[in-house]
């Protein structure tokens, strides 16, 4: 007897087509007729990828959930493999619209307009891999993410991100997070070169700055940012590509 997690139970219509890729085509009302949509041989009911005509977009990944009838999408850029769009929906027709728009190279905002379930991560496309623009894109993503968090300490964390971004010396560095600690690099992904201290926003409303577990605590984000600037190594040049 098939278990509730059996893809054929959750997705009998997909199983009837033999793969998620094949099931997407009729949902697109002909718009995917000439679009390369494929599913892997190992899990054809749960996965599909859609290539793009743009060289600075990786194939869109479409993934079916295993415990609930729902699909996730993720569209990334190839240099850093960071998400430009993602989202979740139970509407396969909407997924098909995203697949067509991604393939045809429509602007990210237009993809969001075509399928409102799509979430724009805040990153923008940098086809020439300009390191300064990649850095700007990552800062935009972090700032948007900080505003979307649903955690109790969202305001504290958002204040930290905004204070760091307002400081020109830190804004010129590539930002990234590790366990919600804000870090900085003198190179972009995919190979980071960590510089300076880490900054934290704590659940008690205080902020930390330092290296490892040895952090100095302060009442405001501006205080930790000011100390972080003083702790940066001298002679940092313009941001460069990592990798």
Distance CA 144, CA 147 (A): 5
Whose tokens are 């330092």? That residue is 210
> Are the CB atoms for 137 and 239 separated by under 8 Å?
no
pLDDT single digits (tens) 208-229: 999 877 899 999 999 999 999 9
> Are the CB atoms for 209 and 218 separated by under 8 Å?
yes
Distance CA 72, CA 2 (A): 24
Neighbours of 115 (CB within 10 A): 21
With CA atoms as reference, report the closest residue to 44 among 17, 69, 70: 17
With CA atoms as reference, report the closest residue to 160 among 101, 95, 220, 221: 221
What pLDDT is recorded for position 239? 97
pLDDT single digits (tens) 9-35: 999 999 999 999 999 988 777 778 778
**164 Cβ contact partners less than 8 Å away, ≥ 6 residues apart:** 170, 171, 175, 182, 199, 221, 225, 228
pLDDT single digits (tens) 88-135: 999 999 999 999 999 999 999 999 999 999 999 999 999 999 999 999
> Are the CB atoms for 98 and 118 separated by under 8 Å?
yes
| Residue 50 parent element (H or E) | strand 47-50
What pLDDT is recorded for position 4? 52
Q: Which two tokens stand for residue 156?
A: 């504290």
State yes or no: pLDDT of 148 exceeds 50.
Answer: yes
159 φ/ψ angles, rounded to the nearest 5 degrees: -65, -35
């Amino acid at each position: 007897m098939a278990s509730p997690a059996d893809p054929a139970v959750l997705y009998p219509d997909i199983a009837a087509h033999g793969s998620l890729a094949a099931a997407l085509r009729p949902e697109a009302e002909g718009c995917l007729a000439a679009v390369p949509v494929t599913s892997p041989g190992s899990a054809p009911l749960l996965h599909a990828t859609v290539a793009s005509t743009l060289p600075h977009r990786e194939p869109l990944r479409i993934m079916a959930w295993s415990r609930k009838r729902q699909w996730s999408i993720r569209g990334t850029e190839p240099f850093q493999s960071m998400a430009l769009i993602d989202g979740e929906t139970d509407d396969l027709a909407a997924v098909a619209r995203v697949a067509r728009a991604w393939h045809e190279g429509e602007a990210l905002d237009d993809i969001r307009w075509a399928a409102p379930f799509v979430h724009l991560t805040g990153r923008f496309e940098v086809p020439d891999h300009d390191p300064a623009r990649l850095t700007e894109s990552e800062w935009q993503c972090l700032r948007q993410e900080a505003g979307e968090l649903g955690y109790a300490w969202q305001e504290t964390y958002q204040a930290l991100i905004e204070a760091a971004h307002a400081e020109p010396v830190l804004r010129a560095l590539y930002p990234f997070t590790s366990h919600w600690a804000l870090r900085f690099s003198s190179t972009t992904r995919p190979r980071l070169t960590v510089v300076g201290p880490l900054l934290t926003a704590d659940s008690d409303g205080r902020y930390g700055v330092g290296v490892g577990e040895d952090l100095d605590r302060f009442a405001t984000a501006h205080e930790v940012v000011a100390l972080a600037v003083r702790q940066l190594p001298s002679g940092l040049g313009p941001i460069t590509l990592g990798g």
